[in-house]
């Protein structure tokens, strides 16, 4: 029996990049020619640590994604559509990582139409069936579904120094479900990172409980009518989207591979080859470490000691504190709260959720306006504490908003903000397990401490940038207003929305039949490739160089064949359904409202945006979009929801600042400023001139 090491290349490379570009000791290393190498260096260290442990006879393969489009996108266009574009510096290093591996003598493989998960899953199962011991390295917990009696998953938590090993015994003990139930879990819970919706209203605990009771997603659906309350109703109504989520979350283990396990045997590396590569990209340290098991500690860490307590009854923190909430996800309105930390700069405390909810002394302290509170994100903290029945008062400092005013290009997460100020809150110890995220009391306490520690320095920076008044008079008060808006939420008539959705589905059904009739065959209308085959191959319509089936490309063909208009109409209804019907219903909370997040510190221009869901993108340009907007209502008839838009707001500000009377008069008369400017330039008195 041999050892087979299966490496999720994309996962490790992404982790290597973000750990060095945004995490501890953040720095994008570059060669003299300006080629970024930070991910390459960290990735090489990870791989070196693995091969340095080899004793002979091991197999190793690294799987990669080919591109963004896979069979999953063909089935569901919105798959991973919510992900941000990959940083340009990382894109440059992707082919270099493959070259590095090849130079090290490591077998690398990728296959068109599949993800690295499928490549790794297939080779892992092939090796397992052959009786070999398989070790998979990844940071993606989707891989837990591959565990069997021969396969163990090594999940990277911080580089190669902190790894969680899951196997057939430990995985069910820690998470309450078996490896085979991971796709079932995703069908129920969904996966925000992959944009899989799952079943509305089903969280982690409910999903695990249902799987423990019924075993599989399919059996849960069979019993859905017997499950009480909203959960049972949602299972019935959203069964198809749940089934889709499960299918997409299932790693393929049977794709055809043009190589055998024998091809992955590690034979070592030719030094001249790796040396040339290392010299070219100035990776001298990596070259020097190749022969040894030497471990580098590169973590920039703040050292503090904290106490876990069950009550603040006898704790005296003084009149100035900082707090940070430990949550499992970014959406603070619904993310599971694990606990919170308080610090006065000298003493640091962590209390878990159950104790926090019971602790009247904590509630009194947080609601005491005389105690000054600093937070990383006041809005998020206010909303999250409101869920616990705590009305936060006495807020004095918001690190996120202050950093945003100093540099609006910063990413609005803890690591990026702390790194901007030259500190880091990562720690190695005191971690608690969760299925798709981890509690970290030590890190939570560090963020609270660092928020307080940085306050004086950041205020001085705001003064230097002449942004303190903007921070104190505009941003801080606005954060509290936005928090109230998020807590209040938007009432949404789910029945009306579902009625519209039912009508749209009927339209889609009819359009599908018409399209099939015009095409002369059935095909996947959601697949750009299959649409292209029908239009450009079978129907021989004129195509552009790339056979594009984008909206703009199809509009140019609308007079060439009636099928084109039908496809465009189909896409319109499909998008309305996925984005504005199903997409909105998924976000309805138990109170019947949408509690969108208003992003105050996200855009580089300073404008507000909303997410989960994105309310500003709800269409009003056509009748269908206006129908969807009608589902928003307010139960008290004395109130109405208004949609307001400033006209030429920047020019109005300019007129005010310039104190140009002619400019001001144009707006006071409600004239069109462009027309008025043209009349002034050409000396025309004609009010109708354009």
User: What element of type H or E holds 120?
Assistant: helix 116-129
Beta strand 372-375 pairing with 320-327: parallel
Is this model's pTM higher than 0.95 or not? no
Residue 279 has pLDDT above 60, yes or no: yes
Min mean pLDDT across 127-131, 258-262, 340-344, 649-653 is at 258-262
- The beta-strand segments (E) located in 533-654 are 593-594, 597-599, 609-611
Question: CB-based contacts of 161: which residues, under 8 Å, 6+ apart?
Answer: 295, 297, 428
Question: CB-based contacts of 84: which residues, under 8 Å, 6+ apart?
Answer: none
Domain 307-485, CATH number (from 3.40.50.10860, 1.10.287.310, 3.30.420.10, 1.10.10.10): 3.30.420.10
- When pLDDT is averaged across residues 635-662 and rounded to a whole number, the result is 80
Q: Tokens standing for 575?
A: 């998008």
Domain ranges of the chain: 3-169+251-264, 307-485, 494-631, 649-682
**Of the candidates 150, 176, 113, 114, the residue with the CA atom closest to the CA atom of residue 6:** 150
Q: Per-residue confidence at 579, pLDDT binned at 50, 70, 90?
A: confident
User: What element of type H or E holds 234?
Assistant: helix 229-237
Phi, psi of 598 (to 5 degrees): -95, 110
C-alpha–C-alpha distance, residues 141 and 193, integer Å: 11
Q: Tell me what pLDDT residue 545 has.
A: 66
C-alpha–C-alpha distance, residues 184 and 177, integer Å: 10
CB atoms within 10 A of CB 334: 16
Q: Tokens standing for 513?
A: 């039949």
Residue 136 has pLDDT above 90, yes or no: yes
Q: How far is CA 560 from the centre of its chain?
A: 41
C-alpha–C-alpha distance, residues 142 and 180, integer Å: 11
Domain 3-169+251-264, CATH number (from 3.90.1150.10, 3.40.50.1010, 3.40.50.720, 3.40.50.11740): 3.40.50.1010
For residue range 10-32, what is the model confidence (pLDDT) as tens digits?
999 999 998 888 766 677 789 88
C-alpha–C-alpha distance, residues 248 and 240, integer Å: 12
Q: Tell me what pLDDT residue 300 has.
A: 42
Phi, psi of 317 (to 5 degrees): -105, -10
Q: How far, in Å, are 139, 160, 166 from residue 155 at the CA level?
A: 5, 9, 8
Min mean pLDDT across 276-285, 429-438, 541-550, 563-572 is at 429-438
Average pLDDT, the chain: 86
Q: Does domain 494-631 have CATH number 1.20.1060.10?
A: yes
Write out 504-566 in H/E/C secondary structure.
HHHHHHHHHHHHHHHHCCCCCCCCHHHHHHHHHHHCCCCCCCCCCCCHHHHHCCCCCCHHHHH
Q: Per-residue confidence at 258, pLDDT binned at 50, 70, 90?
A: confident
- When pLDDT is averaged across residues 339-355 and rounded to a whole number, the result is 92
Residue 608 has pLDDT above 60, yes or no: yes
């Amino acid at each position: 029996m041999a050892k087979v090491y299966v490496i999720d290349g994309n996962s490790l490379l992404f982790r290597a990049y973000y750990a060095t570009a945004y995490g501890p000791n953040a720095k994008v290393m570059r060669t003299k020619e300006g080629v970024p190498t930070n991910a390459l260096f960290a990735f090489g260290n990870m791989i070196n640590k693995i091969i340095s442990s080899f004793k002979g006879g091991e197999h190793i393969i690294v799987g990669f994604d080919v591109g963004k489009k896979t069979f999953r996108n063909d089935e569901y266009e919105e798959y991973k559509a919510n992900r941000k574009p990959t940083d340009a510096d990382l894109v440059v290093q992707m082919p270099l990582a493959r070259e590095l591996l090849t130079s090290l003598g490591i077998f690398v493989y990728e296959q068109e139409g599949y993800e690295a998960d499928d490549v790794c899953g297939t080779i892992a199962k092939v090796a397992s069936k052959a009786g070999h011991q398989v070790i998979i390295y990844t940071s993606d917990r989707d891989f837990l579904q591959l565990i069997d009696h021969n396969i163990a998953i090594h999940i990277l938590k911080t580089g190669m120094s902190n790894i969680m090993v899951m196997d057939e015994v430990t995985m069910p003990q820690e998470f309450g479900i078996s490896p085979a139930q991971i796709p079932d879990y995703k069908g129920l819970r969904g996966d925000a990172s992959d944009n899989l919706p799952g079943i509305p209203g089903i969280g982690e605990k409910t999903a695990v409980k249902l799987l423990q009771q019924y075993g599989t997603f399919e059996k849960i659906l069979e019993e859905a009518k017997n499950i009480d309350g909203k959960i049972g109703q949602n299972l019935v109504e959203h069964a198809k989207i749940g089934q889709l989520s499960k299918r997409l979350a299932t790693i393929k283990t049977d794709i055809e591979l043009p190589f055998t396990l024998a091809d992955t045997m590690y034979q070592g590396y030719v030094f001249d080859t790796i040396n040339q590569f290392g010299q070219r990209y100035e990776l001298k340290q990596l070259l020097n470490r190749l022969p040894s098991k030497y471990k580098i500690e590169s973590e920039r860490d703040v050292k503090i000691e904290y106490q876990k307590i069950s009550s603040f009854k006898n704790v005296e923190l003084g009149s100035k504190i900082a707090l940070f909430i430990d949550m499992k996800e970014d959406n603070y309105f619904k993310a599971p709260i694990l606990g919170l930390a308080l610090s006065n700069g000298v003493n640091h405390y962590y209390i878990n959720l159950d104790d926090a909810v019971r602790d009247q002394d904590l509630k009194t302290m947080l609601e005491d306006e005389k105690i000054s509170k600093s937070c990383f994100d006041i809005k998020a903290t206010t909303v999250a504490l409101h869920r616990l029945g705590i009305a936060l008062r006495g807020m004095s400092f918001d690190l996120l908003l202050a950093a945003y005013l100093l540099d609006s290009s910063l990413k609005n997460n803890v690591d990026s903000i702390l790194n901007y100020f030259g500190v880091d809150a990562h720690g190695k110890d005191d971690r608690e397990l969760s299925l798709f995220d981890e509690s970290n009391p030590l890190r939570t306490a560090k963020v609270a401490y660092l928020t307080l520690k940085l306050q004086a320095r950041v205020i001085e920076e705001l003064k230097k940038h002449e942004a303190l008044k903007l921070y104190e008079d505009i941003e801080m008060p606005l954060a509290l207003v936005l928090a109230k808006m998020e807590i209040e939420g938007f009432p949404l008539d789910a029945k009306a929305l579902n009625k519209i959705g039912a009508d749209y589905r009927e339209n889609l059904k009819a359009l599908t039949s018409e399209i099939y009739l015009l095409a002369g065959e059935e095909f996947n209308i959601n697949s750009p490739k299959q649409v292209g085959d029908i239009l450009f191959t079978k129907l021989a319509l004129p195509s552009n160089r790339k056979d594009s089936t984008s909206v703009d490309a199809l509009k140019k063909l609308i007079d060439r064949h009636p099928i084109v208009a039908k496809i465009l109409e189909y896409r319109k209804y499909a998008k309305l359904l996925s984005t504005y019907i199903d997409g909105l219903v998924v976000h309805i909370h138990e109170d019947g409202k949408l509690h969108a997040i208003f992003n105050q510190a996200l855009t580089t221009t300073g404008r507000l945006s909303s997410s989960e869901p994105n309310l500003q993108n709800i269409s009003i340009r056509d009748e269908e979009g206006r129908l969807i907007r009608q589902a928003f209502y307010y139960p008290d008839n004395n109130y109405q929801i208004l949609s307001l838009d400033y006209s030429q707001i920047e020019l109005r500000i300019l007129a005010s600042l310039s104190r140009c009377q002619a400019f001001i008069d144009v707006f006071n008369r409600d004239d069109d400023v462009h027309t008025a400017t043209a009349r002034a330039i050409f000396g025309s008195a004609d009010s109708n001139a354009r």
